[in-house]
């Protein structure tokens, strides 16, 4: 069984949130080894064609330009950034099948259909933000006051994350305390360790003096009070009643808790103020007018003297144009590149066709008031659910303002395929319908929405490269190696697929290979 098959089955059984957790457990995410590259200032000579103006292409254009190379970028879209993309009011997006959407968000509101958060240890992204003066703000990944939800647990009533977390921890702590009290851990820990263990369980699990997880001050401090402390004669708080461990385990809401412990999602996470595309815009400001937009690449050829790329105007195809250079950095997603004639080795052609791309979809929903803040005191964070929408994420910016845009759905794999079999308008409608099962206010407050399915995106045909251990062992070296005068880059050429950091690291590696080959006079 491949990891792809396993993850699909996990997604069917436990929903998108559980599958996303499994993706990380299986090594889809890791800390970045980025260190700022040594300056190549003035040492580069010659011309370089860069295919694609996503982050990998923009990094290549910026760094190679600084080194002294003459660069030209061909970009399929009418904008730079690729998956680094922010949708605002007035933006137009047309997916496969000709479905056209016009974003209707109010001024100042936005939605990131691609990358939407930056972990603190993605040093490459953060370093470029620092170099370019891009202001960042916290991204709230974990909010203990957000919900965990299952249509089949607790009568479909959403549970606060803090309640589920506290009840699970408390139940397990009480269980361990009982086992220790009966001497069942004596062969595992010393007497001194046992005493320390019991005290740790009391503190961490919110147990009472008798090591029980029951209704009382210790448990309510963790899971929340039924009535919060106040002033005046009625100010006395009321304790909340925990759910028993068996109920917590059978509800299976704990399936969404583990992702919060993954290093990728530990605090602090960040986002650019005003939208993720602040990063791609900053690159464009610095590389000048070297990007040709609406350029659909149709063929890539090379010989011992240079590279020749055939392309046409994506708005009015039919008339071929040619771009030539000494070298080429190709950042086109493999899902697209596998359909373009490219003159490289048979092994690289096979590798390009060997990496499937994951399906994924997102929906942005605008509401006339921030009911999640006003009514439910949820400021940022994520609600996980086993409904087909996968999750809801609350904006980490604009707290206390009137309107807001929620990430109303985020799905992968089978769920994404099923959801996006609908038209974009139907997806938005279903997003509101499902979301109302968690937040009834949806129905009265919804104003408009937009849906992006990455596997229906003409410029990616998928969300990210779906490597597994076997395909990496067979093809990864061929993807990353320089082939004559052509080198590939992008998140697919990294061990950080699906992340902007992977695109940046792969691009820097490709630049090193190209520069070394050029400095050696074009010889390997």
Pairing of strands 147-149, 381-385: parallel
Residue where one domain finishes, among candidates 401, 429, 456? 456
**Residues 205 and 274 reside in one and the same domain:** no
CA–CA distances in Å: residue 450 to residues 112, 117, 265: 11, 19, 26
Tokens matching residue 483: 């082939």
325 within a domain of the structure (yes/no): yes
- Tell me how many domains the chain contains: 3
Mean pLDDT for the chain overall: 92
pTM of the predicted model as reported, rounded to 2 decimal places? 0.91
Using DSSP, state whether 350 is helix, strand or coil. Answer: helix
Give residues with Cβ within 8 angstroms of 110, minimum separation 6. 86, 87, 88, 274, 275, 405
Domain membership of residue 184 (yes or no) is yes
Q: Which two tokens stand for residue 460?
A: 């990616």
pLDDT digits (tens, 9 = 90+) for 401-413: 999 999 999 999 9
The full 3-state SS of 257-301, as one line of letters, equals CHHHHCHHHCCCEEEECCCCCHHHHHHHHHHCCCEECCEEEEEEE
What's the average model confidence in pLDDT over 142-169?
96
Residue 155 domain-assigned?
Answer: no
Give tens-digit pLDDT for 469-488: 999 999 999 999 999 999 99
Question: What percent of the chain shows pLDDT beyond 70?
Answer: 94
In a domain, 524, yes or no: no
Same domain for 94 and 233, yes or no, is no
Which of 456, 488, 507 terminates a domain? The answer is 456
- In terms of domains, do 420 and 438 share one? yes
What CATH number is attached to the domain comprising 477? 3.50.50.60
Q: What is the pLDDT of residues 388-398, one digit of tens each?
A: 999 999 999 99
Asked whether residue 17 is domain-assigned, the answer is: no
- Domain CATH for 209: 1.20.1440.240
**pLDDT tens digits, one per residue of 16-58:** 444 444 554 444 555 788 877 777 766 788 999 999 999 999 9
Is residue 34 assigned to a domain?
no
Region 281-290: what's the mean pLDDT?
A: 96
Domain assignment present for residue 110? The answer is: yes
**Helices H / strands E in the chain, number of each:** 17, 22
- The average pLDDT across 254-280 equals 91
What whole-number distance in Å separates Cα of residue 43 and Cα of residue 511? 13
Please check whether residues 346 and 367 belong to one and the same domain: no
Residues 339 and 328 in one domain: yes
Burial class of 481 by CB neighbour count within 10 A (0 to 12, 13 to 18, 19+): middle
Whether 471 is covered by a domain: the verdict is yes
Whichever domain contains 93, its CATH number is 3.90.660.10
**Are the beta carbons of 254 and 168 closer than 8 angstroms?**
yes
Indicate whether 369 and 233 sit together in one domain. no
101 with 247, same domain: the answer is: no
> Do 396 and 273 share a structural domain?
yes
Q: Are residues 128 and 229 in the same domain?
A: no
Looking at the structure, tell me whether residues 321 and 175 fall in a common domain: no
Alpha-carbon Rg for the chain in angstroms: 26
Of 240, 228, 208, 219, nearest to 168 by C-alpha is: 219
Calpha distance 326→317 (Å, rounded): 26
**Torsion angle in degrees (nearest 10) through CA of 95, 101, 107, 108:** -30
Domain check: are 139 and 114 in the same one? yes
In this predicted model, which residue has the larger pLDDT, 408 or 193? 408
Half-sphere exposure of 166 (CA within 13 A, CB side): 27
Buried b (16+ CB within 10 A) or exposed e, 167-182: bbbbbbbbebbeebee
- Is residue 315 located within the same domain as residue 352? yes
- Domain range for 376: 87-145+267-279+358-456
CA 450, CA 438: separation in Å to the nearest integer? 20
Q: What percent of the chain has pLDDT over 90?
A: 82
């Amino acid at each position: 069984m491949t990891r792809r098959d396993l993850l699909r089955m996990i997604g069917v059984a436990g929903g998108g949130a559980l599958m996303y957790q499994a993706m990380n457990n299986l090594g889809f995410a890791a800390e970045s080894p980025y260190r700022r590259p040594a300056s190549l200032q003035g040492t580069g000579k010659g011309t370089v064609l860069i295919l694609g103006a996503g982050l990998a292409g923009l990094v290549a254009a910026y760094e190679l330009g600084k080194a002294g190379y003459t660069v030209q970028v061909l970009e399929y879209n009418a904008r730079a950034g690729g998956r680094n993309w922010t949708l605002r009011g007035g933006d137009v997006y047309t997916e496969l099948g000709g479905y056209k959407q016009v974003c209707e968000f109010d001024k100042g509101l936005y939605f990131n259909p691609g990358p939407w958060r930056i972990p603190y240890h993605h040093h490459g992204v953060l370093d470029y933000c620092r170099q370019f003066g891009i202001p960042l703000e916290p991204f709230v990944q974990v909010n203990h006051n957000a919900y965990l939800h299952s249509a089949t647990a607790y009568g479909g009533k959403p549970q606060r994350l803090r309640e589920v977390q506290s009840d699970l921890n408390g139940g397990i702590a009480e269980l361990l305390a009982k086992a220790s009290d009966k001497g069942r851990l004596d062969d595992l820990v010393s007497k001194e360790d046992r005493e320390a263990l019991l005290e740790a369980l009391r503190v961490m699990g919110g147990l009472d003096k008798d090591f029980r997880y029951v209704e009382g001050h210790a448990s309510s401090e963790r899971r929340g009070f039924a009535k919060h402390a106040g002033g005046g004669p009625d100010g006395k708080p009321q304790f909340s009643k925990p759910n028993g461990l068996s109920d917590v385990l059978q509800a299976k809401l704990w399936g969404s808790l583990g992702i919060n412990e993954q290093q990728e999602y530990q605090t602090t996470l960040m986002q650019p103020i005003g939208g993720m595309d602040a990063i791609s815009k900053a690159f464009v400001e610095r590389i000048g007018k070297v990007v040709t937009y609406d350029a659909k690449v149709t063929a890539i050829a090379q010989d011992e003297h240079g590279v020749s790329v055939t392309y046409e105007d994506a708005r009015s195809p039919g008339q071929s144009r040619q771009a030539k250079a000494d070298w080429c950095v190709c950042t086109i997603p493999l899902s697209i590149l596998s359909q373009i004639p490219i003159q490289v080795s048979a092994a690289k052609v096979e590798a390009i066709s060997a990496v499937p791309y994951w399906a994924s979809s997102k929906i942005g929903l605008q509401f006339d008031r921030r009911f999640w803040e006003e009514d439910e005191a949820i400021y940022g964070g994520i609600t996980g659910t086993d409904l087909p929408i996968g999750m809801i994420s609350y904006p980490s910016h604009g707290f206390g303002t009137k309107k807001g845009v929620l990430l109303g759905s985020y799905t992968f794999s089978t769920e994404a395929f099923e959801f996006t079999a609908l038209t974009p308008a139907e997806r938005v409608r279903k997003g509101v319908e499902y979301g109302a099962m968690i937040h009834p206010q949806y129905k009265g407050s919804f104003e408009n929405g937009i849906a992006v399915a990455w596997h229906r995106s003409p410029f990616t045909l998928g969300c990210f490269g779906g490597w597994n251990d076997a395909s990496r062992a067979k093809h990864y070296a061929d993807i990353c190696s320089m082939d004559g005068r052509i080198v590939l880059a992008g998140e697919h050429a990294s061990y950080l697929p699906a992340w902007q950091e992977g695109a940046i690291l792969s691009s820097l590696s490709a630049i090193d290979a190209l520069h070394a080959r050029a400095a050696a006079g074009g010889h390997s």
